[in-house]
A and B are shown apart, each in its own frame.
Chain A
Amino acid sequence: MEMNGNSHGWVFKAIFLGLVFAVSVLVIKPVGVSTQFSMIGGMIHSVIDPSVITEDSSRKSGYRSTNAYYDKSEGSLAKDIKNPLNFAMVFLLAIPLGGFIAWSMDPNKRNKMAQDALRVSGPKSAFEKYYIREILGGFIFVFGARLADGCTSGHMMSGIMQGSISGFVFAACAFVVAIPVAKALKKLG
């Protein structure tokens, strides 16, 4: 299937992914991932500075924060940071489990691992050794996603599924920049 360029085997993968988007909105709500990064960041923040989020029974959420972002929408993020065992967080933490299950069952995984290993073989540059690309890339895309209030999952997939204008605009902006950046960095692999 992988080797045959004319095969339409990719369609089954696409159907599976499309079903996940649609079933998710049917049973609970559209998929979304980047908000949970703010929850985890907020959990770390409130360990370093416990006074950043305080209880406030006068509010519907029951929480108040000195940070404008956690305090937004009546302290809803503040509440999630203090009560992280919720749907969104379980959803996020289940994603690697799903990735692992699919990877373990993949008959092509050795082939794929060999391809990845080929890429990183040989003397490593400091750039690769200290994962500069990964840390910086992750930093930048989550920062952008929070500013946009969503990422590829929430805006592009779930947003366009519902025909939302913000989803189309986000996808267009993301690809307009990502394509030339990826091309410019081709020599890095």
Chain B
Amino acid sequence: MDLFIGLATGVLFGAALYLADAASPVKMRQMLRLEDLTVFKIILFAIGLSNVLLFAFNMLGILNLSHLSVKTMHLGVIIGGLIFGVGFGMVGSCPGTSFAAIGTNVYKQALMIAIGGIIGALIFSLMYGNFEAMGIFKSFNFGKMTLFRISDKYPSVTEIGYVGLLVMGVVFMAIAWFMPDKRRA
């Protein structure tokens, strides 16, 4: 059953990334140069909608809280995010979009990105012990912290519950809606 769900959600995710133009490294690089913000708008609106839907699922009592998965905040998120930005800006792709692009006309570039990524993951695995010894995962560690109280499992910044996600989601969608698509390069 899990494998079937994996297949179905993977296909939908890949199709959605393609439709959002996120599978096109050219479009993504235009977005990152702030020349064409369409992809950014789509992703921001999508995140906002998912915030609202999470609120709705919880209100309807159909959200299984054990499905939530919040990642730990630590120094690795900051350093890793900055390093990620270098590769993201260079190539205009990221792990998910490079896989979506394997199914499209830019498959050659996409496969090369994926191969580079697998080598990167392997080198990271070999170095993980050193990073751990340096205490990267222990510094700036705030645990699996969330902005709003979505589960007793996670510490939260505020005591506001799912309604916080609703408000944030609406704000994200509004920003996306009113954001201009294009700017003069």
Contact = CB atoms under 8 A, between A and B. Distances in A.
Contacts of B93: 137-138, 141
B103 A97 contact: yes
Chain A interface secondary structure, helix, strand, loop or mixed?
helix
Nearest to A128: B109
B11 A98 contact: yes
A144 B85 contact: yes
The prevalent SS among residues of B at the interface is helix
Contacts of B91: 133-134, 136-138, 141
The interface centre, meaning the residue of B43, B57, B62, B63 with most chain A CB atoms within 10 A of its CB, is B43
B135 interface: no
A173 interface: yes
A135 B116 contact: yes
A14 B53 contact: no
Interface residues of A, number: 119
B95 A142 contact: yes
Q: Which of B17, B41, B116, B182 has the most A CB atoms < 10 Å from its CB?
A: B116
B45 A14 contact: yes
Given A68-B132, A179-B32, A183-B33, A95 B176 contact: no
B12 A144 contact: no
A16 to B, nearest CB: 5
Given A29-B67, A148-B80, A170-B80, A18 B46 contact: yes
Interface string A161-178: 111111111111111111
Given A18-B49, A150-B71, A142 B116 contact: yes
B81 A169 contact: yes
Given A142-B87, A145-B80, 6 more contacts: A22-B50, A27-B9, A101-B15, A146-B121, A153-B94, A174-B84
7 contacts: A19-B49, A32-B69, A67-B126, A101-B11, A101-B103, A148-B78, A166-B145
Interface of B: 2-3, 5-21, 23-24, 26, 29, 32-34, 38, 41-43, 45-51, 53-54, 57, 62-64, 67-74, 76-106, 108-110, 112-126, 128-129, 131-132, 136, 142, 144-148, 150, 154, 157, 164-165, 168, 176-177, 181-182
Top 6 A-B pairs, shortest CB-CB distance: A98-B14, A94-B10, A177-B85, A148-B80, A137-B91, A173-B81
